[in-house]
Amino acid sequence: MNDETTPETPPAPAPSGPRAAAQLERRLKEEVARRRTFAIISHPDAGKTTLTEKLLLYGGAIHLAGSVKARRAARHATSDWMEIEKQRGISVTTAVMQFVYGDHVVNILDTPGHQDFSEDTYRTVAAADCAVMLIDAAKGVEPQTEKLFRVCQLRGIPVFTFVNKMDRHGRDPLELMEEIERHLGMRTCPMNWPIFDGFEFVGVYDRQTRLVHVFSADQTHGATAIEAQSAELGSPEADAFMTERAKARLAADLELLDIAGDAYDPARVAEGKLSPMFFGSALNNFGVKPFLEAFLEMAPHPDKVPVAEGDGDEPITAISPELSGFVFKIQANMDAAHRDRIAFFRITSGRFVKGMDAWHPRLGKSVRLKNPTAFMARERSTIDEAYAGDIVGLFDTGIFRIGDALTSGKNLQFKGIPHFSPELFRKIRVADPLRRKKLIEGLTQLSEEGAIQVFRDWWQEAPDIVGAVGTLQFDVLAHRLGTEYGCPPILTQLPYTLCRWVVPAEGSKAVFDPKTFKVGQGALIAKDRDEHAVILFPNSWGVNWAKEQNKGFELLPVSPLAEHAGSLGKSGRSGR
């Protein structure tokens, strides 16, 4: 069951002969063009679970979505997906869902809700090619939406907006557009426009096709897919769907949009500067299908960006024959009797084949990938092959770390996935001094797994501070240190809320010296897991003050990548 590692040279690329190579190239192009890999980002309660379920419903991956009467039936369907977890005692949750829609292979990466909000959430965004930002029409941009949006912005990926709950009386859509621009600094471009809201929300007007799509609720309360009736705006059929009030409002809004709105510009969308915007109600399926279809057409497939650089060769892209990818999430076995973990491997190029050997550059070893798991929405099964954009679950006996690459043929390394600034910090110790070594071992392993970030006061010998973005991370940490390492920790709250990584400013030759670096009242100079200098601050005022005082330095909200970890990649701070 476990993957095997043997010290070897990197495996040779699979195809041999020009014909096989040409065939593979064609196949790779086709498969990559079909892939869409995205995360849905939202604040809790905006309707992410509901929308995800509806996308699976329209994708044919489930047959009943979960509102009211169907909820129980849907739960059964959900538990069926967990077959592999049951067999192996590993909880992989529904972290990744794959389904086929038309010609597209869709991979949805789940970002956990607020209870579980953790760095995992950020790292999941690092494995997506674009994001769907879900907004509650009545609430607008909420704090967690903004946090996740910032991660998308950092990576420069396209963000699509879906305004949900239009069946309730919400805010004026024009006001929502304005709010997104003001809070997030991103312009929006409505691809469709709601035909009224609340009880009078009957559908959406597609600005490209000039078609009015009107829905009527069925008896299943949104549990089954519904089709829209469509008619051209201004036609008697379309007029028949709308009240006079709805018609007048639509006409006025469209006029304003045409004058003041941004035109759809794929280049600006690709840079994350312009967000195509859609309206609907996930609960009763209004507008879900128009959104899904337009989104799949517009969303990027994974071949845009060079994913990594090899030993001085051509940059690797999604259609390069060599396999490459990186681990963005490691999920520990919830069953303490099994130490196995699942590493979530995002493929960035080439073809993944079950049982293949892949090169693990960090360890300098070849790894046999025997039991890869695919995350099909309908079932979890062992997969035979996968392509760029897909996520594969690899059994991990402790050989993977977040950000690790696997490749075939080339000794390349990704720049990794940055650490994001924690917002909560705790002092950590064990009551029994004899268990200190064990505590350090546990902290080291758990931080490699990405469960927690570990720091140490600059002047201390051993890690003594842990950082997280959600309190649940501390609960899990305490539980696992107790059960798996036999050293239940004592955690004490610390006043810091921000961590900043210190790097020389562009063009500066400044060298960090903890004795002369000015951090101000209440801040602490520390080191991260990789011995990089960080400052822990109680508030953003402290960060600004320190920036002013230390002109030769930059204070980064994410850990600097690779250059400092000795990897081969060159550009960007993204995970790719």
Interface with ligand G4P includes 110 (CB under 6 A)? no
Instruction: Specify whether the CB–CB gap between 254 and 193 falls below 8 A.
Output: yes
Q: Residue 504 corresponds to which tokens in the numbers above? A: 């020389």
Closer residue to ligand G4P in complex, CB, 212/282: 282
Quick one: which of 47, 290, 310, 416 contacts ligand G4P (CB under 6 A)?
A: 47
Instruction: For residue 338, give the H/E element and its range.
Output: none
Distance (Å, whole) CA 379 – CA 148: 29
Instruction: Specify whether the CB–CB gap between 352 and 372 falls below 8 A.
Output: yes
Q: Residue 380 corresponds to which tokens in the numbers above? A: 């979890």
Closer residue to ligand G4P in complex, CB, 198/504: 198
Q: Which of residues 267-286 bind ligand G4P (CB under 6 A)?
A: 281-283
For residue 48, the minimal CB distance to ligand G4P (Å) is: 3
For residue 335, the minimal CB distance to ligand G4P (Å) is: 26
Closer residue to ligand G4P in complex, CB, 76/551: 76
Alpha helix segments (H runs only) across 127-172: 143-155
Closest CA to 305 of 313, 316, 290, 291: 316
Interface with ligand G4P includes 113 (CB under 6 A)? yes
Closer residue to ligand G4P in complex, CB, 66/569: 66
Closest CA to 406 of 339, 361, 443, 462: 361
Instruction: For residue 302, give the H/E element and its range.
Output: none
Cβ-in-10-Å burial (0-12, 13-18, 19+) of 182 comes to exposed
Q: Which of residues 182-221 bind ligand G4P (CB under 6 A)?
A: none
For residue 282, the minimal CB distance to ligand G4P (Å) is: 4
Closest CA to 13 of 402, 453, 320, 456: 320
Distance (Å, whole) CA 146 – CA 540: 17
For residue 284, the minimal CB distance to ligand G4P (Å) is: 7
Closer residue to ligand G4P in complex, CB, 28/109: 109
Instruction: Specify whether the CB–CB gap between 223 and 70 falls below 8 A.
Output: yes
Count of residues touching ligand G4P (by CB under 6 A): 17
**CA distances (Å), origin 507, targets 325, 503, 547, 551:** 32, 11, 16, 12
Instruction: Specify whether the CB–CB gap between 465 and 427 falls below 8 A.
Output: yes
Binding mask 56-95 for ligand G4P (x = CB under 6 A): -----------x----------------------------
Closer residue to ligand G4P in complex, CB, 204/233: 204
Closer residue to ligand G4P in complex, CB, 66/361: 66
Closer residue to ligand G4P in complex, CB, 114/304: 114
For residue 95, the minimal CB distance to ligand G4P (Å) is: 14
Closer residue to ligand G4P in complex, CB, 68/334: 68
Closer residue to ligand G4P in complex, CB, 49/453: 49
Residues present in the chain in total:
576
Distance (Å, whole) CA 346 – CA 406: 10
Interface with ligand G4P includes 331 (CB under 6 A)? no
For residue 54, the minimal CB distance to ligand G4P (Å) is: 9
For residue 125, the minimal CB distance to ligand G4P (Å) is: 16
Q: Which residues contact 48 (CB under 8 A, 6 or more apart)?
A: 40, 42, 111, 113, 134
Closer residue to ligand G4P in complex, CB, 199/459: 199
Closest CA to 120 of 315, 331, 271: 331
Quick one: which of 28, 39, 46, 202 contacts ligand G4P (CB under 6 A)?
A: 46
Binding mask 146-185 for ligand G4P (x = CB under 6 A): ------------------xx-xx-----------------
Distance (Å, whole) CA 225 – CA 555: 49
Interface with ligand G4P includes 44 (CB under 6 A)? yes
Q: How many helices (H) and strands (E) does the chain have?
A: 14, 30
For residue 52, the minimal CB distance to ligand G4P (Å) is: 8
Q: Residue 269 corresponds to which tokens in the numbers above? A: 């969308």
For residue 508, the minimal CB distance to ligand G4P (Å) is: 44
Q: Residue 129 corresponds to which tokens in the numbers above? A: 């090619």
Interface with ligand G4P includes 48 (CB under 6 A)? yes
For β-strands 187-190 and 274-279, DSSP reports them as parallel
Interface with ligand G4P includes 42 (CB under 6 A)? yes
For residue 192, the minimal CB distance to ligand G4P (Å) is: 15
Interface with ligand G4P includes 50 (CB under 6 A)? yes
Distance (Å, whole) CA 247 – CA 334: 55
Interface with ligand G4P includes 45 (CB under 6 A)? yes
For residue 137, the minimal CB distance to ligand G4P (Å) is: 8
For residue 53, the minimal CB distance to ligand G4P (Å) is: 8
Quick one: which of 49, 111, 333, 453 contacts ligand G4P (CB under 6 A)?
A: 49
Distance (Å, whole) CA 102 – CA 557: 41
Q: Which residues contact 513 (CB under 8 A, 6 or more apart)?
A: none
**CA distances (Å), origin 64, targets 77, 134, 178, 182, 388:** 9, 22, 36, 39, 30
Q: Which of the stretches 48-56, 406-414, 459-467, 471-479 binds ligand G4P when contact is defined by CB under 6 A?
A: 48-56
Binding mask 440-479 for ligand G4P (x = CB under 6 A): ----------------------------------------
Closer residue to ligand G4P in complex, CB, 45/441: 45
Closer residue to ligand G4P in complex, CB, 44/557: 44
Residue 477 φ then ψ, to 5°: -60, -50
Distance (Å, whole) CA 54 – CA 194: 19
Closer residue to ligand G4P in complex, CB, 145/407: 145
For residue 283, the minimal CB distance to ligand G4P (Å) is: 3
Helix axes 143-155, 173-184, angle to 10 degrees: 60
Binding interface with ligand G4P (CB under 6 A): 42, 44-50, 67, 113, 164-165, 167-168, 281-283
